[in-house]
């Protein structure tokens, strides 16, 4: 993952749903640092990792076969 990255943010605690942002960093304290536009101005927000969903705008390259090892298998 490269920083900064364009993302779509979902964070019910902050009433953010499907909002574009730029992910700046991931804090070791458990927060995403992002910039997001509100009322025509760009602001820095800190959002808790455990309660925030991110979708990266840049799709992954196609992978012919992907094997995932799961616990308990």
Token code pair at residue 49: 């990792």
Percent of the chain exceeding pLDDT 90 equals 73
Whether pLDDT at 5 is above 60 = yes
Token code pair at residue 2: 């490269």
How far CA 72 is from CA of 6, 43, 66, 69, in Å, comes to 35, 43, 18, 9
Q: 5-56 domain in CATH 3.30.420?
A: no
* Sequence spans of domains, the chain: 5-56
pLDDT in tens, 7-40: 999 999 999 999 999 999 999 999 999 999 999 9
pLDDT in tens, 39-62: 999 999 999 999 999 999 876 677
pLDDT at residue 58, as a whole number? 75
């Amino acid at each position: 993952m490269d920083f900064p990255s364009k993302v779509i943010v979902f964070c019910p605690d902050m009433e953010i749903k499907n909002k574009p942002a730029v992910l700046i960093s991931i804090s070791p304290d458990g927060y995403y640092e992002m910039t997001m536009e509100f009322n025509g101005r760009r602001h820095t927000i800190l959002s808790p990792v455990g309660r925030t969903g991110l979708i990266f705008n840049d799709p992954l390259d196609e992978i012919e076969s992907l094997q995932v090892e799961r616990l308990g298998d």
